Amino acid sequence: MNVREPDWAYVAKSLVKVVAVTAALLLVLGVGERVLWLFVDFDDERTAQVYGTAARVVNPDKRLANGHTDGGGLRGTTYTLWGEPRKAGPSEGEEEYEIVENSFGSVRAPSLDGPSGSLAYAIDSVREAPDVDEGLKEAARKAIDALPQTLDAVAVVEFAGTMTTDRLVAFNRRHSICGGEDVSYLYSLSSYDDSSDPPAVNAVVWNRGMTKDGFSAEVTYQCETEPVAALAEFRRWVGLLNEGDDLDEFDLYYELLTEDAEDGGVYGLVVDRWKLADLRKLLDDPEVRTVHLADVAFDLGEADQSRQIS
């Protein structure tokens, strides 16, 4: 059987043509994209506002702060967030998290689809209609009393019933709680039921700085009355949404979010790096059902300072 030798000159010409056509298509795409920038608003700012905020809402186990887009274009928009795990101890370093919205409006955010770890478990432990259970509160007291009261903690303060904004402001005043980056509001609970539609819904954990990048310099918190401003900002954000936004990746749903914003009830607080002694005091308030500890750690900076003083 005779095997013909390949015509290598023809193969080379074909490869050159393929490379040339591919390069030409990429050039046309690039030029077309630049021209379209003059006439089409790719609205990467809205991508940041809608999807960047959604990622912060459903990932309270991470401190997600500054973000930036790649400018968007025909192939879509990539919004990159920087963040670190929400731990009671020192920072473990920041990581990059990407949210990719393609040109058809579909969104992918595989690393930002919901919380994990002990804080996720603490949030999942909050009940919509909790029973009065003094045994549960007593168990929390014993757990906290068994630890040094100067430890920093990440925790969920679960209320005995849904708190209106007015009641929450009164609660803050009783305990001198000042709104800020270390206090977030649990407006909706997580759920999972494979027989329902949708089968899974993430909790809505809201902090007023979530709609801002680099919010520490841009948001003026209002101390005890912060719940009023927080609810207003939550409602403003929900007002930016429309039914066409692809929030499925975050297990958030337009209809449910609008209901949560209208209701405005708070099931609990997610608190970041509070002293155990301050959490222990809240257990004496009848408005508090229990405290779920997620993480504790010594404040090493505080320990170093005390050694220098001594």
pLDDT (tens digit per residue) in 81-132: 999 999 999 988 899 999 999 888 899 999 998 999 999 999 999 998 777 7
Polymer length of the chain: 310
Q: Confidence band (pLDDT; 50, 70, 90) for 35?
A: very low
Alpha-carbon distance of 224 to 174, in angstroms, equals 9
Kind of pairing, strands 288-297 and 62-69? unpaired
Residue 167 has which token pair? 């009641």
144 in a structural domain: yes
- Gyration radius (Cα) of the chain, Å: 25
Beta strand pairing call for 288-297 and 152-163: antiparallel
Residue 68 is predicted with a pLDDT of 83
Tokens of 96: 């990059």
The pTM of the full predicted model, rounded to 2 decimals, is 0.81
CB–CB of 269/186 below 8 Å?
Answer: yes
**Is the omega angle on the peptide bond into residue 6 within 30 degrees of 0, that is, cis?**
no
Question: Which residue bears the tokens 């919901």?
Answer: 114
Instruction: Determine, yes or no, domain membership for 94.
Output: no
Position 73 scores a pLDDT of 58
| Residue 75 pLDDT | 61
- The sign of the torsion formed by the CA atoms of 226, 231, 234, 236 equals negative
Say whether pLDDT at 136 is over 70.
Answer: yes
User: Quick check: 214 pLDDT over 70?
Assistant: no
> Between residues 128 and 182, which one has the greater pLDDT?
182
Q: How many CA atoms lie within 13 A of 56 on its CB side?
A: 29
Give the count of domains, the chain: 1
pLDDT in tens, 231-286: 999 999 999 999 999 999 999 999 999 999 999 999 999 999 999 999 999 999 99
Per-residue pLDDT, 45: 80
Alpha-carbon gap, residue 19 to 23, rounded angstroms: 6
Is 72 a member of any domain? no
Better pLDDT: 196 or 207? 207
Per the prediction, the chain carries an average pLDDT of 85
Q: Is the peptide bond before 198 cis (omega within 30 degrees of 0)?
A: yes
Residue of 75 and 148 predicted with greater confidence? 148
End-to-end CA distance of the chain: 94
Q: Encoding tokens for residue 217?
A: 């310099």
In a domain, 57, yes or no: no
Of 74-78, 198-202, 209-213, where does mean pLDDT reach its minimum? Answer: 74-78
Tokens of 257: 């979010």
Q: What is the pLDDT of residues 36-70, one digit of tens each?
A: 333 334 456 888 889 999 999 999 999 998 788 87
DSSP structure class, residue 51: I
Look up the domain containing 131 and give its range: 117-309
Which stretches of the chain are DSSP H helices?
8-37, 44-47, 53-58, 117-124, 134-145, 165-175, 226-240, 254-263, 276-282, 300-309
Residue 21, burial from CB neighbour count under 10 angstroms (0-12, 13-18, 19+): exposed
Confidence of residue 209 (pLDDT cuts 50, 70, 90): confident
